[in-house]
Structure 1
């Protein structure tokens, strides 16, 4: 499956730094978008539209880079750059899921290497989100009663047992069961259980990605 072209976001309040970083990143063949503040970035950037990473200055005029990292809450990998960093700040950022923490002036090869690794992580996250969203879309088609029936099917219950549990007749359960299988796009209970497990796994994996 093909994915949209990745983008590198740059947030730095220094005009000359933004221009230099944008030029470098474009020269390596990446699409880049630049912002002068965290507020501008939050108001404009679309993190869900494609795989992306963020090259982020720690010292910013509105909210600082570490606070922005907290607000993004793992939405994309972050490469911090700063001329004022210390060990404590670096450790804090990395524990919070930063992809890298680089001192200014940033060496071109080091930054591009970090971007390549960050975008690879971003592609993995994007792929997981796309798969999870597609599977959740199937789940969302189900009525509340069909979800109850599906949960019992996934436990290995027979139609007669499900009917007794839900206080209805076996024929009604057969109808619900058929609709569940159709809406979830599966042909067996094993496939159904696999999809439910996959949704849980993808959600958990995304939550762990950059935290």
Structure 2
């Protein structure tokens, strides 16, 4: 599958053409954007399996560079961002990595080096996209539960038996069992370990991004 490279560069046709000429020997699909707002407005995560993507973001020391990087990360944090700069500095490089950049290259850079970086970034995106899709899928499943079902599920996950749950919620054990059965049916699960595993994935996923 081809790798899609999103190139974000403001009003620099000379640099844009140099970049395109230099990289067209590689098997990449390029999409250009004048700024990160245009990219954010038009981008959606790909639906196909095994999609490979990353961003090449052109930055210089203009005072707003890190805000631009953070703006993209806040909207599409799993897409790796490789920073390109023809006005590099130690400060810009350090701040870029602190803000989540995947890699940093001063211009001019070697074709093979940035190609290797793009391939690594694209591979990481493939794995993180699958994790993200799993998170969305599980989140949507659990959102189907009613308030009462969530309450009972939380009691069960805290280690309460059906009898203990019934006593604490002033319900009959039979009612709790019915709710428990409905929870399993709605979630499409067959066991408590599966419930624990899927719910734990939802709660830990944002921390692992």
Under a length normalisation based on structure 1, what TM-score does the superposition of the two structures give?
0.86
Distance 1:83 1:167, change over 3 A: same
* Residue 36 (structure 2) pairs with residue 38 (structure 1): yes
Q: Which of 16, 19, 22 matches 2:17?
A: 19
1:24-173 maps to which residues of 2 (within 5 A)? Answer: 24-44=22-42, 46-49=43-46, 51-59=52-60, 64-73=64-73, 75=77, 76-173=79-176
Q: Distance in 1 between matches of 2:152 and 2:27?
A: 51
Give aligned pairs, total: 201
Distance 1:24 1:146, change over 3 A: farther
Q: Which of 180, 183, 192 matches 1:180?
A: 183
Q: Distance in 2 between matches of 1:115 and 1:78?
A: 9
**Deviation readout 1:73-92 (Å, 9 max, x if unpaired):** 36221111111111111111
Instruction: Name the SS for the 2:60 alignment partner.
Output: coil
Instruction: Name the SS for the 2:145 alignment partner.
Output: coil
Instruction: Check the 8 A contact 1:132/1:203 in 2, yes or no.
Output: no
Deviation of the 1:135 alpha carbon: 0.9
Structure 1: tracts of 5 or more residues without a match: 207-211
Instruction: Name the SS for the 1:33 alignment partner.
Output: strand
Counterpart position of 1:209: none
Q: Distance in 2 between matches of 1:201 and 1:25?
A: 38
Q: Distance in 2 between matches of 1:138 and 1:41?
A: 30
Instruction: Check the 8 A contact 1:6/1:52 in 2, yes or no.
Output: yes
Distance 1:179 1:23, change over 3 A: farther
User: What is the CA RMSD across the aligned residues, in angstroms?
Assistant: 2.2
Deviation of the 1:36 alpha carbon: 2.4
Distance 1:25 1:127, change over 3 A: farther
Instruction: Check the 8 A contact 1:135/1:199 in 2, yes or no.
Output: yes
Under a length normalisation based on structure 2, what TM-score does the superposition of the two structures give?
0.86
Instruction: Name the SS for the 2:119 alignment partner.
Output: helix
Instruction: Check the 8 A contact 2:5/2:29 in 1, yes or no.
Output: yes
Instruction: Check the 8 A contact 1:38/1:60 in 2, yes or no.
Output: no
Instruction: Check the 8 A contact 2:83/2:101 in 1, yes or no.
Output: yes
Q: Distance in 2 between matches of 1:20 and 1:83?
A: 12
